[in-house]
Amino acid sequence: MLRLGVLALALLLAPAAPALAAPLMPSQAPTMEDVDPGVDHTGRDAALPAELRKQSVYYRTEQPPGTIVVNTADRYLYLIMGNGVALRYGVGVGRDGFQWGGIQKISLKREWPDWVPPSEMIARQPYLPRWMAGGPGNPLGARAMNLGGTVYRIHGTNAPETIGQAVSSGCFRLVNDDVADLYSRVPIGTKVLVQHQ
């Protein structure tokens, strides 16, 4: 009995190992088709609903200021500011079968990045270009922030109509103005918590 109690206490006190990219249950929210790479829909930013635009909100959390929390169920990314306040950004999330959860850190930041689709994406969509220069038609948009050693990123988009939708291969996309704002606020090493609740 004592041995069981010691084991339980050890498990409680052990530091939690960060999850890398654990798949989540499929979403019941509707999804849409993604826009083809090279198509520039950025002029549609003005049609983005007000609730999906960057705004300061009350947000209760135990996460420290500077942490990014992505909630794939409600399709928002929160940058924790402290004192119960967060900046909330509308995001596009992974479509069914491509949603994941866990803890990562921003490992690389790039402005107007070139796009090289990962081999997993090429295998599913062999018609995709193998490389695309940065610019308005690039699916990564104005900024990209890599998440750890995964293939996932927080990035801009060439298709603002996909914000609030489950359409990506697991990345989180924001309109270009919002991703540029977020990019300017977070350094490499920022903790990113991805959850589905």
The predicted structure's pLDDT at residue 38: 52
- The angle subtended at Cα 127 by Cα 125 and Cα 131, nearest 5°, is 100
Residue 160's φ and ψ, nearest 5 degrees, are -60, -20
Q: What is the CATH number of domain 40-195?
A: 2.40.440.10
Q: What is the distance of C-alpha 123 from the center of its chain? A: 22
pLDDT at site 43: 58
Active-site residue set: 155, 171
**Strand pairing category for 143-147 and 153-155:** antiparallel
**Are 69 and 63 spatial neighbours (Cβ–Cβ below 8 Å)?**
yes
Residue 95 per-residue DSSP state: P
Residue boundaries of the structural domains of the chain: 40-195
**pLDDT of the residue at 23:** 52
Q: Kindly give the confidence (pLDDT) of every residue in the chain, 197 residues in length, as a single tens digit, with 9 standing for 90 and above.
A: 444 443 333 433 333 334 455 554 444 444 445 555 555 556 566 778 999 999 999 999 999 999 999 999 999 999 999 999 999 999 999 988 889 999 999 999 999 999 888 788 788 878 877 778 888 888 999 999 999 999 999 999 988 999 999 998 899 999 999 999 999 999 999 999 999 87
Question: What is residue 150's predicted lDDT score, i.e. its pLDDT?
Answer: 93
